[in-house]
Amino acid sequence: ANLGATQRGRIEAARVGVRLNTDAIDNSAGVDTSDHEVNIKILLGDVVARGDMTVKQRDTLMASMTDEVAALVLADNYRQTQALTIA
């Protein structure tokens, strides 16, 4: 977890053989989640602008997608970290 240890702590852990990722890898799920949110908002922005959906309806729809988006992000990040570990 990128907030679980300072950079100095990561270096000290690595020096004694602990296998870990860089901050960029550990924070990739947060970035991926944000990317999904922004892309969904852009897609729904046109729908709201046309008046086919209210902002409240958009927000309700987005909230209902939370578990699915989380599952997609976690699966993607698991595979990404796995690929790095294998490489």
- Note down pLDDT in tens along the chain; length 87 residues: 556 778 888 889 989 999 887 777 877 888 899 999 999 999 999 999 999 999 999 999 999 999 999 999 999 988 988 888 888
Alpha helices in 16-54 (DSSP H): 23-26, 28-49
Tokens of 56: 């409240």
Write down the domain spans for the chain: 23-86
Find out whether 72 and 78 touch, Cβ atoms under 8 Å. no
The model's pTM: 0.67
Q: What is residue 53's three-state secondary structure?
A: coil
SS3 helix, strand, coil % of the chain, rounded to 5?
A: 75, 0, 25
**73: Cβ contacts below 8 Å, ≥ 6 apart:** 29, 32, 33, 36
